Structure 1
């Protein structure tokens, strides 16, 4: 039995993908001392993790909510999600008192980096093209996902974001592009209204002068 168990290997989200949905990761501490953990992700704008850092006492498990905030468009049936999460745990043999995990993380990492346990968790969207493969293949390699390497550069701190930007990698539609298009239409409408008002004023002045 592993001293630190982190599951599952894959977070599977079901449609619809345009609304919020929640999956769960579980961190179990089978060791004799408290551990702290931090969750990082390659797509911090698309997910909210609660809690994204906390303490797990000896013999206890903690369930982490991983909330997909919702896409602006349903992905294609053959879409393959490339998002990943990295859960890192460190020993925490000292009483943290009132300090938050984020406040002591660097301190614990510098002292216990060689004892860090981390696991990469993949994300799968159960679209029509891959739902059958998921049922047939299941989750493979559960023990191979845990190692002792720290976070890599492509992972970022996970946090709550109220209005995520959806990029073309996930949906094929860029929210920033549609926003610019809407702004252009708005500007065009404003210019047309101004021109109409100027024409009306000129007509009134000319009518007053000649009649």
Structure 2
């Protein structure tokens, strides 16, 4: 599995979602930020939007759930058509059970950690995950500045994955741009969420390819 670029539609035009997704044909996934105005202070999409997007594009959907009570609510997004469902460990009481439930429904199971949440307590459950998401900003809003303090955690997470010999993907989300993606790739990330960097570009799809190239170059020198 090589470098994957997952544009976030949080920065797209909500009134033209089908058209906005069509502007990024080179994307590996479409990242859908689901916020409930409780776990984070913002309100965005729900399962109905995921269903509509799944009908509008052949690109698989990566649903990032910034919502409370993930144990009960996350499976709904797999049912709605998300190919990958990410729950926050801070919002679940039984992460292993939830990951297994998502996988049983045919979705990739992913777990997200806020910047201040350490990775070490979850090392033993990494084999239960298809992807681990390390937030490089505080979740809740797009356009935030990348937090360099997370880079050492990316390195530690990559070392854990390599130690266990598992193929769990390592995703980063928050402030990812041409100025920051190389640091993340060099540290060991291989899946990159980019929102404002993509949708503020004159040619969003060209930016997807530029980000992929930058990350691949940095990963090759790590």
TM-score with structure 2 setting the length:
0.26
Is the radius of gyration larger for structure 1 or structure 2? 1
Structure with greater helix share of residues: 2
Structure with greater strand share of residues: 1
Higher relative contact order (CA 8 A, sep 6+): 1
